[in-house]
Amino acid sequence: MQRLPSDWLTQGLVDFEYKKYILLAYLKQVRSSFDRIELYPYLADMVFHYRNMLAIKDNKALIRESFPKEISLEDFNKLELVYRKMINDDSVMAEIEAILDFAIPQMKESLQEGSVIYEYVESQCEISTVGVTPLYAREGYLFVAQPPEKDTEVYRYQVSIFDGSQEQMQSLNTEHIETWNKTSVSTYESLKLNLIRRYRDLPNPATYLVLSRMRFPYTQTLMPVVKRLFVKHISQAA
């Protein structure tokens, strides 16, 4: 996959036709990925770029929370400095304005397409508890399965709370434990009991099953959707 650089607007030649070519080539890859029902990492990448373009269009400071986690504070500060200088340069800003006027609707259209797919995948996922759920549900086990429900991915999870720029935010950390082969005589309850015997530090773990009614690309689509859906579920249950 060819991701759009974080500084694609200012990188190289700031020229409308050149940037239009770069953007359309990128969006062509995005639509090809969406045709395969593969949402990530393109969907998150587009959200990042779309927010930044709106911020620049409104002459606002860049929002650090919208940047990919792998970007360093030093890189962020450099990028913000470049954008601030650009905003103060009338000739450059005029070209950027033309680029943004073209790019924002194009990006929004692709985002809407991705959102429709995302919402459909989410609608096919059902969350249920395995056994009795304790009061403390921010740590435990997460089972993820999809048709034909033969193999179940088993994770240990932990939900963390931190303060964002305007509100409390939550993040989900997962550790893959194993791929469990479900048989006609085995149950998710028996899997949970097996995990309790093996991992004594969680004697009474919250355990959830996310079952998709349809099969989707696991890494690129199902698991990212499951993670966001699960955090929302835990937040509402807390």
Gyration radius from the chain CA atoms: 22
SS3 194: helix
Residue 10 lies in a domain: no
Q: What are phi and psi of 52, to 5 degrees?
A: -70, -35
Residue 92 lies in a domain: yes
- The answer to whether 143 and 191 are in contact (CB under 8 A) is yes
Q: What's the confidence (pLDDT) of residue 127?
A: 96
For residue 29, give its domain range.
Answer: 16-122
Q: What's the confidence (pLDDT) of residue 165?
A: 47
The identity of residue 82, as a single letter, is V
H or E element: which one contains 32?
Answer: helix 16-35
Residue 9 lies in a domain: no
- The answer to whether 202 and 176 are in contact (CB under 8 A) is no
Residue 4 lies in a domain: no
Distance CA 43, CA 61 (A): 23
Quote the number of domains for the chain.
2
Residue 5 lies in a domain: no
Q: What's the confidence (pLDDT) of residue 229?
A: 95
- CA 134 centroid distance within chain: 28
Q: What's the confidence (pLDDT) of residue 104?
A: 96
Q: What's the confidence (pLDDT) of residue 89?
A: 65
Is beta strand 206-212 parallel, antiparallel or unpaired with respect to 139-145? parallel
**For residue range 52-68, what is the model confidence (pLDDT) as tens digits?**
888 888 765 565 555 55
Mean pLDDT by 10 residues, the chain (238 residues): 81 90 96 96 92 80 54 70 68 85 97 97 96 88 93 94 58 94 88 95 94 96 96 82
Residues 169 and 229 in one domain: yes
Distance CA 121, CA 98 (A): 35
Residues 231 and 132 in one domain: yes
Residues 151 and 222 in one domain: yes
H or E element: which one contains 163?
Answer: strand 151-163
**Predicted TM-score (pTM) of this structure:** 0.83
Residues 218 and 170 in one domain: yes
Distance CA 47, CA 49 (A): 6
Residue 181: beta bridge partners?
A: 151
Residues 108 and 176 in one domain: no
The pair of structure tokens assigned to 47 is 């959200």
* Residue entry with tokens 């792998």: 70
Residues 96 and 142 in one domain: no
